[in-house]
RNA sequence: GCCCUCGUAGUUCAAUGGAUAGAAUAGGAGUUUCCUAAACUCUAGAUCCAAGUUCGAUUCUUGGCGAGGGCACCA
């Protein structure tokens, strides 16, 4: 909590001690921003003190109010409504706050991470098909969490796991061999991930066709699929890959190579990068050490057929197999191995997995096992579980062609931004073609990223294409627009002679309501940043950025910045606007959203 | 069957146990000689139901009802 809040709370606590003779912990006196229908800046809620039998809430509040005004010079007035003690800060306090912090770099970040290391794993695609809408939500959350934690003073290591082997990629490989005719991405002029994904779809068509007669005989779906020639080919392919068959491995490298090149493009376009990649193909045989360790510690048990499992029924979870009878690893065994690898390399204090909520159970089991193995990093594990992205038509299903691909969406958002901008050409006519292209991309991504990050991660969300391309209202471009407006004012101001702000010169006696509200909002920034990091919730920062933009526009509408009555007032307002711009820029930057200087 | 999420204006989202539940959008009415109208102002509209805890419950507890996800020697 801020220094200011601490001071008010400890002072109130001291007053309670002197007047009532009771020890009150400052945290028993919560402070919040005063609701706008009442007078004041901050409100102390004194109801919690009623349990000490000191009198009515009203009386307690009066007593504290009188004492606080007396001792803290920046408090100018108070009023009491029921148990709410509303405190008003002097105009000087706010003016000084703005003057002190408007240019401060330190104000933009925190140090409470104390250099602790946090590993964040996110995105984690399969290499057999392009990134889709669900990945986008994942990426935005993972990226912004990384940046928020960095700004909070942590050393963050972003990592990404590629699920690059097994049945899925084998399906694409089988289809490509069957009908691909040696086609490369360049041949068709599409990105590599798209090409690989198309063969994955082609495979499913083949499978469906071959399974149809079997299904007609009344054979169970899973069984029918397994009996098809194409599915047999997939199993053979996977086995050959595991045996290191040169031809299969070479094909696998080729197709995965196409994927990696393409997905790297998408990463670059979105401005994300990772410090470390993990590949399932490199770890899928690992985990044996973890299994051996567990057996040794008596945490796991081995059955007669050689399979290994752990019984977690006492922890309200089920039994879980960790090693097959044939000695091969499972998904969870790999995760045990990767967790150990991460610690070996980074010695992280915290390890965060950004993965959809359908894997919640998996992570409960994983974390419980690591805890039972008494891993040093076991209590720093966190699954940032986010809800599914749904379309108005329902869930995305690749088989039904309702997948929204990331690249397509990025393109669509950009052209929407372009269309919208061209209606306002007057504003941007002096921009070059390159600058305009960059602007469209910035706005398109701003719209998309903000749309995905503004919702509380753990809730499922609806992606309405119509609404997502909207650029008005509670949207990324609205916030970007507010920033651009501020930059325009600054450009204009540079051509005028506005003196530097002088704290010693009196403004008017009071600040305008809009000036004070905006200042108070900017004051909240460090608390929001901290909360967003502590609760792993970037949405808090997104909603905050929107609030700042909204409040700035209100201020902008109401107050004349450049032609105020007094030059010093202009100077103050300019400084305040610039401060708001810096906070908007920083907030959006932490969310992976860029800001245009004009739009 | 068991476990986990979530139910807030027509719709999409907010609200550390605090005051008269905020925004956006869709609807209605306005604002441009003035720093960017992608803006601003006004208007109408909501806590799934029932008990309980509390000075105070959208928030916590229990029970309903409704939606989604999960409980593989799959990933």
Q: Which of residues 474-493 of A touch strand B (CB under 7 A)?
A: 474-475, 477-478, 481, 484-485, 487-489, 492
User: Which positions on chain B have an atom < 7 Å from some protein CB?
Assistant: 3-7, 11-16, 18-20, 23-25, 34-36, 38-41, 55-56, 68-75
Give the model's pLDDT for residue A27: 85
Through-space separation of residue A562 CA and nucleotide B50 C1' in angstroms: 59
Same domain, A82 and A179: no
Number of domains forming the structure of chain A: 3
Residue nearest to nucleotide B36 (CA to C1'): A485
Tell me which of A63, A89, A115 is where a domain ends. Answer: A89
Instruction: Give the pair of three-digit tokens for residue A430.
Output: 């002096």
Asked whether residue A358, judged by its CB, lies under 7 Å from any atom of the DNA or RNA strand B, the reply is yes
- Give CA–CA dist A406/A387, Å, rounded: 18
Domain CATH code at residue A43: 3.30.1360.70
Shared domain for A84 and A171, answered yes or no, is: no
Q: How far is CA A428 from CA A432, A447, A485, A581, in A?
A: 9, 19, 13, 20
At A219 the pLDDT is 82
Distance, in Å, from the CA atom of A132 to the CA atom of A139, rounded to the nearest integer, reads 11
Instruction: Let me know if residue A292 belongs to a domain.
Output: no
> Residue A309: left if φ>0, alpha if ψ -120 to 50, beta else—which one?
beta
Pair A440, A569 in one domain: yes
A475 nearest nucleotide via C1' and CA? B24
Residue A486 and residue A373: Cα distance in Å, rounded? 55
Nucleotide nearest to A327 (CA to C1'): B73
pLDDT value at residue A193 = 96
Give CA A414 to chain center in angstroms: 21
User: Cα separation of A580 and A567, whole Å?
Assistant: 20
What nucleotide is nearest A561 when CA is compared to C1'? B35
Sole residue written with tokens 């009066």 = A62
Let me know if residue A94 belongs to a domain: no
Identify the pLDDT of residue A15: 94
The spacing between the Cα labelled CA in A458 and the C1' in B59, in angstroms, equals 16
Asked whether residue A48's C-beta has any atom of DNA/RNA strand B within 7 A, the reply is: yes
pLDDT for position A268: 98
In a domain, A152, yes or no: no
Pair (A65, A171) in one structural domain:
no
Residue A580 lies in a domain: yes
Helix, strand, or coil here: A272?
coil
| Residues A437, A530 within the same domain | yes
Q: Tell if A223 CB is < 7 Å from nucleic strand B.
A: no
From A169, A312, A175, select the one nearest A252 (Cα to Cα): A169
Q: Is residue A470 part of a domain?
A: yes
**How many residues can be counted in chain A?**
599
**Nearest-nucleotide field for A557 (CA, C1'):** B40
Is there a contact between A15 and A68 (Cβ–Cβ < 8 Å)? yes
Q: What is the domain range of residue A419? A: 408-590
CA of A594 to C1' of B57 (A): 40
**Which stretches of chain A score pLDDT less than 50?**
none
| Separation between the CA of A478 and the C1’ of B59 (whole angstroms) | 30
Name residues 456-475 of chain A with a Cβ under 7 Å from nucleic strand B.
456, 458-462, 464, 467, 470-475
Is A316 inside a domain boundary?
A: no
Query: Cα(A597)–Cα(A382) distance, rounded to whole angstroms?
Result: 38
**In terms of domains, do A570 and A479 share one?**
yes
Residue A324 in any domain: the answer is no
Do A416 and A505 fall into the same domain?
yes
* Beta bridge partner(s), residue A386: A356
Is the same domain home to A572 and A428? yes
Where a domain ends, among A89, A120, A153?
A: A89
Domain final residue pick, A260, A280, A300: A280
Q: Are residues A84 and A175 in the same domain?
A: no
Tell me, what's the pLDDT at A507?
60
Shared domain for A83 and A170, answered yes or no, is no
Work out if A324's Cβ lies within 7 angstroms of strand B: yes
Does residue A418 approach strand B to less than 7 Å at its CB?
no
Which CATH number covers residue A539? 1.10.730.10
In contact, A450 and A479? CB cutoff 8 Å: yes
Residue whose Cα is closest to the C1' of B6? A459
A583 within domain boundaries: yes
Are A424 and A565 members of one domain? yes
CB of A443 within 8 A of CB of A471? yes
Question: Does residue A318 lie within 7 Å of nucleic acid chain B, judged by its CB?
Answer: yes
Six token digits for residue A353 = 């997995």
**What would the 3-class secondary structure string for A449-501 be?**
HHHHHCCCCCCCEECCHHHHCCCCCCCHHHHHHHHHHHHHHHHHHHCCCCCCC
Same domain, A81 and A172: no
* Tokens of residue A71, six digits: 């001792």
Closest CA to A119 of A76, A151, A81, A155: A155
Residue A400: the pLDDT is 60
* A36 CA, B8 C1': Å apart: 22
The answer to whether residues A69 and A22 touch, using CB atoms and an 8 Å cutoff, is no
Question: CA A560, CA A569: separation in Å to the nearest integer?
Answer: 9
DSSP assignment of A336-400: HHHHHHHHHHH--SEEEEEEEGGGHHHHHHHHHHHHHTT-TTGGGEEEEEEPPEEBTTBS--GGG
What is the C-alpha separation between A183 and A206, in angstroms, rounded? 18
Nucleotide nearest to A57 (CA to C1'): B55
What's the pLDDT at A508? 55
Q: What is the largest CA-CA distance in chain A?
A: 91
Provide the pLDDT for residue A505.
65
The pTM is what? 0.95
């Amino acid at each position: 909590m801020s220094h200011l809040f601490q001071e008010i709370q400890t002072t109130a606590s001291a007053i309670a001690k002197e007047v009532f003779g009771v020890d009150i912990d400052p945290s028993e006196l919560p402070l919040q921003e005063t609701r706008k229908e009442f007078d004041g800046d901050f409100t102390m809620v004194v109801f919690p003190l009623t349990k000490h039998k000191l009198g009515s809430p009203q009386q307690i509040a009066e007593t504290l109010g009188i004492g606080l005004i007396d001792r803290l010079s920046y408090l100018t007035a108070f009023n009491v409504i029921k148990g709410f003690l509303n405190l008003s800060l002097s105009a000087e306090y706010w003016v000084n706050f703005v003057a002190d912090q408007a240019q401060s770099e330190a104000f933009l970040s925190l140090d409470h991470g104390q250099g602790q290391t946090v590993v964040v794993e996110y995105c984690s695609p399969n290499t057999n098909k392009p990134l889709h809408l669900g990945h986008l939500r994942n990426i935005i959350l993972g990226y912004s969490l990384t940046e928020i934690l960095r700004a909070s003073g942590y050393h963050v290591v972003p990592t990404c796991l590629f699920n690059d082997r097994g049945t899925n990629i084998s399906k694409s490989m089988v289809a490509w061999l069957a009908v691909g005719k040696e086609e490369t991405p360049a041949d068709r002029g599409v990105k590599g991930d798209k090409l690989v994904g198309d063969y994955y779809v082609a495979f499913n068509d083949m499978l469906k066709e071959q399974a149809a007669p079997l299904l007609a005989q009344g054979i169970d779906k899973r069984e029918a699929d397994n009996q098809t020639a194409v599915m047999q080919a997939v199993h053979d392919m996977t086995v050959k890959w595991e045996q290191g068959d040169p031809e299969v491995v070479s094909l696998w490298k080729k197709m995965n190579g196409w994927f990696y090149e393409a997905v790297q493009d998408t990463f670059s376009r979105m401005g994300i990068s990772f410090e470390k990649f993990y590949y399932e193909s490199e770890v899928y045989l690992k985990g044996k050490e973890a299994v051996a360790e567990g057996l040794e510690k008596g945490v796991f048990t081995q059955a007669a057929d050689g399979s290994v499992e752990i019984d977690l029924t006492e922890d309200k979870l089920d039994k879980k197999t960790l090693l097959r009878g044939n000695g091969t690893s499972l998904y969870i065994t790999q995760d045990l191995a990767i967790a150990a690898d991460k610690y070996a390399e980074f010695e992280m204090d915290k390890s965060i997995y950004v993965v959809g909520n359908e894997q919640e159970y998996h992570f409960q089991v994983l974390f419980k096992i690591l805890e039972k193995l008494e891993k040093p990093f076991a209590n720093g594990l966190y699954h940032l579980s986010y809800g599914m992205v749904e379309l108005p038509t329902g869930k995305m299903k690749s088989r039904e062609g309702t997948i929204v691909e990331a690249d397509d969406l990025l393109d669509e958002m950009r052209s929407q931004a372009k269309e919208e901008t061209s209606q306002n050409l007057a504003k941007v006519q002096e921009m070059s073609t390159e600058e305009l292209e960059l602007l469209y991309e910035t706005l398109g991504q701003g719209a998309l990223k903000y749309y995905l990050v503004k919702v509380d991660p753990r809730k499922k969300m609806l992606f309405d294409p119509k609404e997502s391309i909207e650029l008005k209202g509670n949207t990324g471009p609205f916030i970007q627009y507010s920033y651009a407006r501020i930059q325009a004012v600054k450009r204009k101001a540079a051509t005028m002679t506005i003196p530097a702000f002088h704290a010693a010169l009196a403004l008017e006696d009071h600040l305008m309501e809009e000036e004070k509200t905006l200042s108070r909002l900017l004051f909240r920034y460090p608390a929001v940043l901290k909360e967003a990091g502590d609760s792993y919730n970037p949405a808090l920062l997104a909603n905050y950025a929107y609030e700042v933009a909204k409040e700035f526009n209100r201020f902008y509408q109401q107050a004349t910045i450049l032609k105020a009555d007094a030059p010093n007032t202009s100077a103050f307002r300019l400084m305040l606007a610039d401060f708001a711009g810096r906070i908007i820029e920083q907030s959006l930057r932490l969310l992976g959203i860029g800001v245009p200087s004009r739009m």
